[in-house]
């Protein structure tokens, strides 16, 4: 099945564990494919990137083959994971650099 884009409702809970509510909708692209040996690969990704969904579904299928799994894990998945962690750390450093600590004027104590 070729990539298809649609919407999905995101649910959340008040305070992380309270009553569930509909937070909003997010665009999702899904793809399902079958490789030559008949293995099915399926992927759902946030956003509208059809090629991303195709590649994710392809790697889902390839990773199911025990003879390819370790090589793909080492050459594709692990580097992608490292890159994602580095991007997250960079974003956190940038956010921390703009952090403002507020305090109360009357007492001089930091606000909680």
Instruction: Indicate the pTM of the whole model.
Output: 0.73
User: pLDDT tens across 40-52, in order?
Assistant: 999 999 999 999 9
DSSP class of 47: S
Which residues, in sequence order, are bridge partners of residue 41? Answer: 33
Give dist(CA 5, CA 46) in Å, integer: 9
Query: Per residue in 91-105, pLDDT tens?
Result: 999 999 988 877 766
Token code pair at residue 59 = 């790697």
3-class DSSP assignment, residue 21: strand
- Per-domain boundaries in the chain: 4-97
């Amino acid at each position: 099945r070729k990539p298809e884009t649609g919407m999905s409702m995101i649910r959340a809970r008040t305070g992380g564990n309270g009553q569930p509510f509909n937070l909003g909708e997010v665009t999702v692209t899904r793809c399902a494919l079958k490789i030559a040996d008949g293995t099915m690969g399926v992927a759902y990704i946030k956003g509208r990137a059809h090629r991303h969904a195709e590649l994710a579904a392809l790697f889902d299928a390839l990773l199911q083959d025990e003879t390819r799994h370790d090589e793909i894990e080492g050459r594709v998945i692990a580097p992608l994971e490292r890159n994602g962690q580095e991007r997250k750390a960079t974003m956190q450093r940038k956010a921390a650099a703009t952090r403002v600590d507020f305090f109360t004027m009357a007492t001089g104590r930091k606000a909680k």
